[in-house]
């Protein structure tokens, strides 16, 4: 990845994190959070403190973990449905 692309990704990540406390997580497409940004100049440019950036990270981490839990519960429920359907159609054997 080029330096320009990396910087663009960092800036986009910061702008998006300013828009919401935690990144939305589409079900079954859970995205891990971006690492906290520790570049003091970049944080200053967006008027963010390191503490605010770490808070953003932990908010996004929590959203990620909740998404994983919800996805797991949904998949288990779906598996049970199809297991019951199998038993209904073909019996225990």
Concatenating the DSSP letter of every residue in 23-87 gives: ----TT---PPPPPP--HHHHHHTT--HHHHHHHHHHHHHHHHHHHHHHHHHHHHHHHHHHHHHH
Q: Which domain holds residue 81?
A: 3-90
Q: How far is CA 36 from CA 2, 12, 54, 79, in A?
A: 20, 13, 6, 36
Q: How confident is the model at residue 19 (pLDDT cuts 50, 70, 90)?
A: very low
The pTM assigned to this predicted structure is 0.65
- pLDDT over threshold 60, residue 22: yes
Decide: 56 and 28 in contact? Cβ < 8 Å.
no
When mean pLDDT is compared across 20-24, 28-32, 55-59, the lowest value belongs to 20-24
- 51 versus 10: the higher-pLDDT residue is 51
Q: What is the pLDDT of residues 43-71, one digit of tens each?
A: 999 999 999 999 999 999 999 999 999 99
Q: How many domains does the chain have?
A: 1
């Amino acid at each position: 990845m080029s330096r320009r692309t990396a910087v663009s990704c960092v800036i986009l990540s910061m702008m998006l994190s300013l828009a919401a406390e935690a990144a939305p997580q589409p079900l079954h497409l859970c995205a891990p959070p971006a690492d906290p940004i520790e570049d003091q100049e970049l944080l200053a440019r967006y008027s963010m403190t390191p503490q605010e950036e770490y808070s953003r990270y932990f908010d996004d981490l929590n959203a990620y973990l909740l998404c994983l839990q919800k996805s797991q519960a949904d998949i288990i429920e779906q598996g049970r449905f199809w297991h019951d359907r199998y038993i209904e159609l073909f019996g225990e054997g």
